[in-house]
Structure 1
Amino acid sequence: MAEPKTKPTDVAPQDFLAAVEPARRRDEGLVLADIFREVTGAEPVMWGPTIVGYGEYRYISPANPRTRGHWPKTGFSPRKSKLSLYGLKDLPRGAALLPALGKYTEGAGCVYVTKLADIDLQVLRELIAIAFSRGDDPEPA
């Protein structure tokens, strides 16, 4: 089984966020860090070089139950073009609430936001709480 490429690192999330460019993304990343910490009560951990993650769960691939790993319950990455938000649509309650977030687009496992001013931060807080409630994937029958 292949080793997952994205896993926790020893890099301090504060150091990563302080170095984010452009400055607007850095500022939005710091706001997101405050919101995620407030909602989850968890300390952030860097996953790979660019994902600030909160919590952790064990996943089992539905397509291949031998493919397993760990992933943050929720998190974000302040990328140059968009903010990537993780875990918000993974659970049915989150997927149902997502349309109330505001202006966003979706990728395979994340939600992309161009700027924080485009979304409802109270809805974001609710989505983070839902994502953080996620448990480990159950063993296949």
Structure 2
Amino acid sequence: MGNLKGVALPLLFTFFVLHLPFAESNWIINYHIHVTNDLPLLKSPPNQPNLFLQCKSKDKDIGERGMVKGQDYTWDTPVNFLRTTLFYCKARWVGHKTRSFDAFVAERDEMPCSQNHNSCMWSVRDDGIYFSKNNETWSNLYPW
């Protein structure tokens, strides 16, 4: 009986290692997070970023980006095995306000985002940061 345990664990480990590339390509879903600058245009200077957005997780910093009206900040992420994947952002509306928000929380967003081809849609507007699961109906989840 003790010999069986000594063989079973290495066999299980070998099975998972050999099947890992298959699992990554077929079982792990990537989610696409989109944050769009829908703030009013700056009066002056024209065509200058009026929104600065920095997004990151515990393990990955996507970086800060200055955005003009209509620009999209996009990245992809898989959900980890424990479903604790979390990306948060800090939005700074030049000359107005700053707000942090959770752009992707696996347990909260997997189901609604999967209804839109695994895309999570965010819109930064003058009264807050909106979320949509279908790019048609929007909810202000993070008022300024």
TM-score normalised by the shorter chain: which range applies? under 0.3
Answer 1 or 2: which has greater helix percent: 1
Between structure 1 and structure 2, the one with the greater Rg is 2
Answer 1 or 2: which has greater strand percent: 2
